[in-house]
């Protein structure tokens, strides 16, 4: 995204839009992660409480998903920077 | 600060946060319905939908599944705070 | 959700937001239910009309999904009420 | 009641209902595309996407799948009215 | 959708809503199609570049999906027209 | 044309296009995260989530998966322009 041809008011507006979108994204990432780890790790419904194995699995699943998402984000940024440079001045 | 018809104050930031919270609750509820449907209703049925009632075993499963879903919700939320997940995740978007 | 620190105008605003959201939720539930029951029950494409078995399956699937969703909703409300009480005064 | 530039009335409630109806149609259409793709295109192909054309059998399947999807739409909609689904479902949200 | 009981201002408003929705729909169709063809066609991660087979598969997948979506759209229009006529005057 | 508090112009059409572009980027990013998670993390694990670290093989897979995803993005986008996809697709909605 290139906002350089935006005036001050337009940049301020887009910053607000971006902030709202980032909050929504974070919530969606959170609930998506939770659903995914629940579906993968929890398979025993003979009791109401999580087993020790399920707890470990959910914690690892969460850690791994966040690291995965961070790594993909890094590659995504590099790619966008490259694209910007090729389009550049 | 906006005034409504009766002259009372509406704080837009407060409204935005409340709306986001509502969206979050709805999203979690919808995922809960879908997940426990997949765990308790869909798979055990070899004869697919032979009846429209909830079977006894399905009802018990739903209650336990819901309890476990809330426990996972709490676990993941704590884990993300420990990892400083918020900063990492939104920061990783590269903007 | 706790709206007790909202003034009248703010409560009225949130009520409108809530009503709109409930309508959207209902539509999403409806189309999700329909897709799910279609995918599960309809597997024969040698004809344009539903077979007797397919009709029964779709009706049972709909009934069961609504009852499932109702039961989950009841557990969800109980949980939220508990959480509210623990946070409470 | 809002006035547009030409001074004509725009009824916001009417606009909201029309927009919701449009959202609903779009949602149903998207699910129709996805469902019939899964039923008619994806599975039968052991050699995955060996050609870009719709095969004869796929085209016939799409027409039947679409017709059956509309029939299910009608059936579910009637069923939910019989059960008083609207009240139950939105009421079950616990708000 | 029947806009015949809308006045000029209301029709103009809905036309704008529709245009925005069509742009969103197109983007969603695009990204959905891309995800689907990626998931189906790309299965080898021993290298960074697409193989010849993967490229052919993605192109065929894209072509086929667009033709599928076009055909479904045609049936959808016919169905809506029928429904309108039955409701009609 | 709208004026903000400081009297500067905000072009609504420009804002709408920028917002749509942002939505698009977010949507693609989310699908990228999901797709490469399915390809690189989920399936290879017979012992499901025995550790919270990314394994060496997973990290390498993520990098390649991401590169291939961008290549598919480019391929599909070119293909749709060749086919005049835009017109066909939005035109097929029957409105």
User: Binning pLDDT at 50, 70 and 90, where does residue A9 land?
Assistant: confident
Task: Sort out which chain A residues have CB atoms less than 8 A from F58's CB and list them.
Answer: 68
The class that CATH gives domain F2-91 is mainly alpha
Query: What pLDDT sits at residue C83?
Result: 86
Tell me the CA distances in angstroms from B78 to A1, A43, B82, C43, F80, one per residue in order: 34, 22, 6, 43, 44
Give the Cα separation of A66 and F52 in Å (integer): 10
Give the Cα separation of C27 and F93 in Å (integer): 20
Give the Cα separation of C27 and C33 in Å (integer): 10
- How many Å from the N-terminal Cα to the C-terminal Cα in chain E? 15
Q: How many CB atoms lie within 10 A of CB B4?
A: 14
List beta partners, residue C88: none
Burial call F5-42: b when 16+ CB within 10 Å, e when fewer: eeeeebbeebbeebeeebbbbbbbbbbbbbbbbebbbe
Domain limits of chain F? 2-91
- Can you tell me which residue has the tokens 């796929």? D58
Q: Do D88 and C27 touch (CB under 8 A)?
A: no
Q: Average pLDDT in the D64-83 region? A: 93
- Can you tell me which residue has the tokens 């597997």? C43
Query: What pLDDT sits at residue E89?
Result: 62
Q: Which of A49-53, D27-31, D42-46 has the lowest mean pLDDT?
A: D42-46
Tell me the CA distances in angstroms from F63 to E27, E31, E58, one per residue in order: 25, 20, 20
Q: Do B39 and A42 touch (CB under 8 A)?
A: yes
Give the Cα separation of D51 and D40 in Å (integer): 15
Give the CATH number of domain D2-87; options: 3.40.50.170, 1.10.287.810, 2.10.109.10, 2.30.42.10. Answer: 1.10.287.810
Q: Which of B18-32, C58-72, D16-30, F6-20 has the lowest mean pLDDT?
A: F6-20
Q: Do D69 and C80 touch (CB under 8 A)?
A: no
Chains B and C physically touch (3 or more Cβ atom pairs below 8 Å) = yes
Q: Which pair of tokens denotes residue F26? A: 């977010």
What are the residue ranges in chain F where pLDDT is below 50? Answer: 85-95
Query: What pLDDT sits at residue D38?
Result: 94
- Residue-wise DSSP of chain B: -EE-TTS-EE-HHHHHHHHHHHHHHHHHHHHHHHHHIIIIITTT-SSTTS-SSPPHHHHHHHHHHHHHHHHHHHHHHHHHHHTTHHHHHHHTT--
- Can you tell me which residue has the tokens 């780890």? A37
Q: Domains, chain A, ranges and CATH?
A: 8-87 (1.10.287.810)
Chain D residues within 8 Å of chain C (Cβ atoms): 16, 20, 23-24, 27-28, 31, 34-35, 38-40, 60-61, 63-65, 67-69, 71-73, 75-77, 79-80, 83, 85-86, 88-95
Give the Cα separation of E33 and E61 in Å (integer): 8
Nearest Cα of chain D lies from the Cα of C26 at a distance, in angstroms, of: 7
Which uninterrupted H or E stretch holds D78? helix D56-82
Nearest Cα of chain F lies from the Cα of E52 at a distance, in angstroms, of: 12
Computed over its alpha carbons, how large is the radius of gyration of chain C? 20
Task: Sort out which chain E residues have CB atoms less than 8 A from F93's CB and list them.
Answer: 22, 25, 73, 76-77
Per-residue pLDDT of B64-94, as tens digits, reads 999 999 999 999 999 988 876 444 444 333 3
Nearest Cα of chain B lies from the Cα of C49 at a distance, in angstroms, of: 20
Q: How many CB atoms lie within 10 A of CB A45?
A: 18
Give the Cα separation of C47 and D61 in Å (integer): 9
């Amino acid at each position: 995204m290139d906002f350089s041809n935006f005036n001050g008011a337009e940049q301020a507006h887009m910053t607000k839009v971006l902030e709202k979108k980032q909050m929504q994204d974070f919530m969606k990432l959170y609930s998506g992660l939770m659903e995914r780890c629940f579906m993968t790790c929890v398979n025993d419904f003979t009791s109401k409480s999580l087993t020790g194995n399920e707890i470990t699995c959910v914690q690892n699943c969460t850690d791994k998903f966040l690291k995965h998402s961070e790594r993909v984000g890094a590659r995504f940024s590099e790619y966008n920077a490259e694209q910007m440079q090729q389009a550049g001045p | 600060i906006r005034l409504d018809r009766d002259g009372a104050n509406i704080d837009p930031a407060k409204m935005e946060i409340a709306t986001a919270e509502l969206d979050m609750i709805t999203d979690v509820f919808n995922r809960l319905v879908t997940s426990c449907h997949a765990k308790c209703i869909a798979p055990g049925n070899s004869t697919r939908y032979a009846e429209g009632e909830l079977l006894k075993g399905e009802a018990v499963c739903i209650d336990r599944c819901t309890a476990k879903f809330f426990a996972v919700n709490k676990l993941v939320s704590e884990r993300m705070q420990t990892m400083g997940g918020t900063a990492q995740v939104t920061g990783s978007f590269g903007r």
